[in-house]
Amino acid sequence: MKRLLFSLLISCGLMASAQQYSNPILNGFYPDPAICRAGNDYYLVNSSFAYYPGLPIFHSKDLVSWKQIGHAMDRPEQLDLMGAGVSRGLFAPSITYYKGLFYIVCTLIDKGGNFVITAKDPKGPWSNPVWLKNAQGIDPSLYFDEETDKAYLVYNSIPPDNKSLWNGHRTIRLRSFDYKNLKASDEETLLVNGGTDTTKHPVWIEAPHIYKINGQYYLMCAEGGTGFNHSEVIFRSKNVDGPYESYKGNPILTQRHLDPNRKFPITTAGHADLVETPDGKWYAVFLGCRPYEGDFYNIGRETFLTPVRWKDGWPVITEGDEEVKYFYPLPQPNINKKPVNPFSGNFTYRNDFNSSNLDDRFIFLRTVTDKWYNTSDRKGFLGMQVRPETVGGRANPSFVGFRQSHIKCTATVALSFNPAAENEKAGLTIFQSERNFYYLCRSMEGNKPVIQLYKSKPREEMDLLKSQTLPGNAQNVYLRIVSEGPTYSFYWSADNKKWNLLLDGVDGKFLSTSVAGGFVGSVFGMYATSLGKPSTSKTYFNWIEYKGNDDVYKQK
């Protein structure tokens, strides 16, 4: 027990009050949430794109106390991400429970398309993917009709005859699904062509889910694209295969019409999923963003939870000028009156690498096929081989990442490294994409030990922004990156007491989705590279500590 406490320390305050929880329920880059309930247990899964392991799985008994229990795709034979851009890979999973078995359907973009995996226990192991080649599109989900014992696959696909009538014209399609043999039927039904109101040329109708409630089938979809104009819309039918009518009050969730200059805005809300509690309450999980200026955000799309109310037989998440809130009453206070969520609010996380396995919070760039890291060489250290691969390429570099989860935060690492040449570097990166990252590292210039700060350039190149000489020939150094939203500051220390500023006021918008593009958020990464040249060097990280400091959580 003592070893566990030293190896992993996560702390966060209680929720905003004894009867409230805070949003997001998963801070940081946890987009495209999907949820299911099995008995009294809730399970949630997110997109992971080109990060490995793929598809993080979370568990809760009260909808707000979440614990990560693993990843659905954690074996190389399940998931080949080599060569994928960081915003490609795994798109928009959906999780379902039926007759003792859990199902996840998802899309591996550019490689295999839609697939299904199954598990008796959501902790795993999950099966290898079964490819659904005849269902071409993205964002698949499964619906199981308990009354008929039939299953259906619903997904986003191309317009009829592949002829777009406007930019962003997409469709929602349905196939029956043989859940015993994991096969989608060859017959396809068109459910929605274009969106809720085709006279307005709606874009990117996607992320469909079907629910049967009070004898009627509800089809819920995202619409408007996954950026600022994102929304959630709903349709209804007496039959699973339609025809579906659009709710006159659509969208049932959006924030696109609100004042972007409001205090602590939540934007881009959409890509939702619904879940019912055992006592008949309904809740929605969905993605949203917390920008720091206008439409700039570095931490990507996060997972939010809000109550759902029913209006004239339709589920409504927000309407009118209603804002998504940071604090809501607890969904099930009878289960847990003082929930603690280590993924929400201003949490602190520290890992001392005393465990034989890395914590599930850590992620890699693409599939790990060679064991270039370990926690066994030196007790209490994460050891890494210094390898030629770089984060600017599309292979698997020596990179162990941790999501930036707050607009304002600090990440610190303790590093032991003795480079043999100028091309050998080890340290801490704040990484958004192959072309958008900063790298704070220990290296050499001539025969002098130095701390360097680089900014990425195209084609795996970097610009040196600043360097400082280390005193003596110190192998042990401490590196720190501080985010203030629009700017980052970079520090180093030789003793973890006196901190030296290397450079402050560095452009943070360079790492924002608005500038860098893509679907991911920024990730702090412990990273070592020899910049394309062979190396036999190793580096060791003694600990990593992360502290969130967002103003919105200081109000309560």
Q: Which residues are catalytic?
A: 32, 206
Own/partner contacts of 110-118, CB < 8 Å, gap of 24 or more, are 110/84, 111/80, 111/84, 114/138, 114/140, 114/155, 116/142, 116/182, 117/72, 117/73, 117/78, 118/182
Coil, strand, or helix at residue 88?
A: coil
User: Which is nearest to 116 in space by CA: 70, 53, 179?
Assistant: 179
Which residues are CB-neighbours of 489 under 8 A, at least 6 positions away?
481, 482, 501, 503, 504, 505, 506
User: Which is nearest to 71 in space by CA: 86, 98, 89?
Assistant: 89
Query: Residue 286 is which amino acid?
Result: F
Which residues are CB-neighbours of 354 under 8 A, at least 6 positions away?
3, 4, 6, 7, 375, 379, 380
DSSP per residue, 226-249:
SSTT-EEEEEEESSTT---EEPTT
Own/partner contacts of 157-163, CB < 8 Å, gap of 24 or more, are 159/193, 159/194, 160/190, 160/193
Which residues are CB-neighbours of 299 under 8 A, at least 6 positions away?
27, 28, 29, 289, 290, 403, 404, 405, 406, 407, 521, 522
* Pairing mode of beta strands 476-484, 487-493: antiparallel
The DSSP output letter for 516 is H
Characterize 275-307 residue by residue with b for buried, 16 or more Cβ atoms within 10 angstroms of its Cβ, and e for exposed.
Answer: bebeeeebbbbbbbbbbbeebbbbbbbbbbbbe
Summary count for the chain: helices (H), strands (E): 2, 41
DSSP per residue, 315-334:
EES--TTPPPPSEEE-S-TT
| 481 beta partners | 411, 490
Residue 140 to residue 158: CA distance in whole angstroms: 13
Coil, strand, or helix at residue 34?
A: strand
Residue 545 to residue 550: CA distance in whole angstroms: 16
Residue 178 to residue 371: CA distance in whole angstroms: 38
